[in-house]
A and B are shown apart, each in its own frame.
Chain A
Amino acid sequence: MAPERRWRSPEMLKHVFAAMALSTVLLAPVLVRAADEIPLPRQEWSFEGVFGTYDLASLQRGFQVYKEVCSVCHPVKHLYFRNLAEIGYNEDEVKAIAAGYQVTDGPNDEGQMYQRPGRPSDPVPGPFPNDQAARAANNGALPPDQSLIVKARPGGPNYVYAILTGYKEAPEGFKMLEGMNYNEFFAGHQIAMPPPLSDNSVTFADGTPATVPQMAHDVTSFLTWAAEPNLDDRHRIGFKVIMFLIVAAGVFYAAKRKIWAPIH
């Protein structure tokens, strides 16, 4: 049995070491960067892991939190009302949600821009017409777009959750700038955003108690979906692909052994 024997040879061990070394190169930048940040508290997310999927009830609650709280300052530029069908709203509900917004359309035949109720094909309108208006209304700070925020921050959902729940009294002697808030997990600990959530900021239709951790969890789930709407498909297809490849690898390995048998 030639292959087994080769695994034990010092040369083969070195090859294994080489493979490990190269994978270290792959991992190094990430490992190193994680070390110089405050560890984020890890949350349980339904979308983690190979079989992870979004929890639609949580996404809908999260959308409600976004709509009633976050959307006062933050846009979700890459979301369309039609996308809400993917988190379990039916056609009529999506139409009703869209119609609840006024969007600017035009120009009409008179050359004027006009307001009309939103349609499912419209992007979700942001709170400000442009970044300058957003800064003017927020003490000079620009509330970032939320539709990619989970992918745009190291730590992803754990980071967003940590920021939402990380407000504290500034420690003794910590110098705060005018209008800033102390947050444990924000770089430099001074964040322009005031604590956005307090208990019962919203009332959930399904009776879930609207505690700060609950709302933070739900809205973070919603924002994860907003950043990565195809995650369910990706996980499902990936599982099939990997199963197929494992079987194929087994078949090809057996074929290889058989074909090479006269040479070994």
Chain B
Amino acid sequence: MADTRPGATARIIRWIDYRLPFVQFLNHELNEYPTPRNLSYWWNFGSLSGIMLVVMIVTGIMLATQYTPSADLAFDSVERIMRDVNYGWLLRYLHMNGGSMFFAIVYIHLFRGLYYGSYKTPRELLWIIGVIILLLLVATAFMGYVLPWGQMSYWAATVITNLFSAIPVIGPGIVTFLWGGFTVGDPTLHRFYALHYLLPFVIVAIVLLHLVALHRHGSNNPLGIDQKGPQDTIPFHPYYTIKDLFGLTVFLLIYAFFVFYAPNFLGEPDNYIPANPMQTPNHIVPEWYLLPYYAILRSITFPILFISSKLAGVILAFSSIFILFFLPWLDTSPVRSARFRPIYKRVFWLLVIDVIALGWVGANPPEGIVVTVGQIATLYYFIHMLILFPLIGKLERPLPLPSSISAAVQSGGARLSGAGAPLAKP
């Protein structure tokens, strides 16, 4: 029987905390953690992506215990998981659709940051760490897609690794090095599997850095103004734990719908055909979440000065993410939230439309109008980043900012008495 004397648990916790302030740390970062009182549901997507990372790692490890990373056996071993492993179909569909859900959440999280200026001082490093996480996610997802060794796995691996051959002089050598041979084959699959297993843990480490950076100055908020005192914040628990929990449940409903009723909707039928190096599929398309990059890659159909069209496409596709690293300095406006930026507030949606257009271009064979739309959308993406961001910041006249979060909540939001008072935990 456990010791039930009053205070026993408290004494043990005190003993541990004196030596290793673990409980104290959890209490400080997850319980008392002062959070702006006005966060909207768009702020749910940070914790949601953290939860998805855990879901992917757990289902992934379970799949790894049954999967065989060899060119001869990989496809059949996935089918064994689907058919003969207890609830193997559930694990695999959770993992497969989980990738799509993860990217959907991360993209919403990213666009939320863009709309509310979450990358601006003092959160530049927080944003940069986030972009690093995005790059690692793309790499991990790509390598994971290769593992079932279906037709689309094989040909996606071939197309993407071949991009490196565009690098002058050393390119072809790099490709052979990546493949571990002279074509995508068994050694490629083995190393992709090893890296697909490794990278998520690297992502966990970087997510922890993301959280350390976040908790340094706390969350941004829809008003984009700093916390000015305890009247502006509420403790994370119970206010945001319950709000995040409700958001999580709604998200799980969407996730469950795909897993149980449309598990292959987001996938490619071709990937249920075993990899065949002798037969190229009619259209090689990546998963939906990589389509915009793919569109940029293909939209450069002409050489630029001395750079071949292929190399230029590769450089631009990578730049489309790398450019985000510089966003804190490209955006010259001192105001964070688009709510108080009359011009940016509208121009923001052009970027959303542009990225959707790029996704559409990436999904279609590059013929006729598709190429033109792709070129315009690519051009616009870089104009938006390199010209509009600096220019709007300079030209725009921002609306007056509220004096504080609590003042704004009192006048614009609910007008209950005491809404501005510091809140004790209920």
Contacts and interface: CB of A to CB of B under 8 A. Distances in A.
Contacts of B242: 252, 255-256, 259-260
Contact of A234 (B260, B269, B418): B260
Q: Is the interface of A mostly helix, strand, loop or mixed?
A: helix
A18 B352 contact: yes
Contacts of A18: 111, 349, 352
Contact of A242 (B256, B270, B356): B256
Given A245-B256, A264-B416, A26 B100 contact: yes
Contact of A151 (B90, B264, B349): B264
Nearest to A255: B242
A78 B273 CA distance: 12
Contacts of B285: 29
Contacts of B291: 25, 28-29
B265 A30 contact: yes
Interface in A1-50: 2, 11, 14-15, 18, 21-22, 24-26, 28-30, 32-33, 50
Q: Is the interface of B mostly helix, strand, loop or mixed?
A: helix
B42 interface: yes
A25 B288 contact: yes
Interface in A206-250: 227, 229-230, 233-235, 237-239, 241-242, 245-246, 248-249
Nearest to B273: A152
A194 interface: no
A248 B83 contact: no
Contact residue range for chain B? Answer: 35 or more
- Choose among B108, B246, B352, B364 the residue with the greatest number of A CB atoms under 10 Å from its CB: B246
A249 B100 contact: no
A242 B257 contact: yes
Contacts of A187: 282
A152 B359 contact: no
Contact of B252 (A14, A83, A156, A245): A245
Contacts of B272: 148, 151-152, 227
A152 B245 CA distance: 37
A28 B260 contact: no
Given A29-B288, A33-B363, A15 B42 contact: yes
A28 B356 contact: yes
Contact of A238 (B42, B261, B349, B362): B261
Contact of A256 (B90, B243, B265, B359): B243
Interface residues of A, number: 50
A262 interface: yes
Interface in B94-129: 100, 104, 107-108, 111
Nearest to A234: B260
A21 to B, nearest CB: 6
Interface string A95-138: 00000000000000000000000000000000000000000000
Interface of A: 2, 11, 14-15, 18, 21-22, 24-26, 28-30, 32-33, 50, 78, 83, 144, 148, 151-154, 156, 187, 227, 229-230, 233-235, 237-239, 241-242, 245-246, 248-249, 252-253, 255-256, 259-260, 262-264
19 contacts: A21-B353, A22-B107, A25-B288, A29-B291, A78-B79, A153-B269, A235-B260, A237-B260, A242-B257, A245-B249, A245-B252, A253-B246, A256-B243, A256-B246, A259-B239, A259-B242, A260-B243, A262-B423, A263-B419
Pairs A-B, 8 closest by C-beta atoms: A238-B260, A29-B363, A152-B272, A252-B246, A249-B249, A264-B414, A151-B272, A230-B89
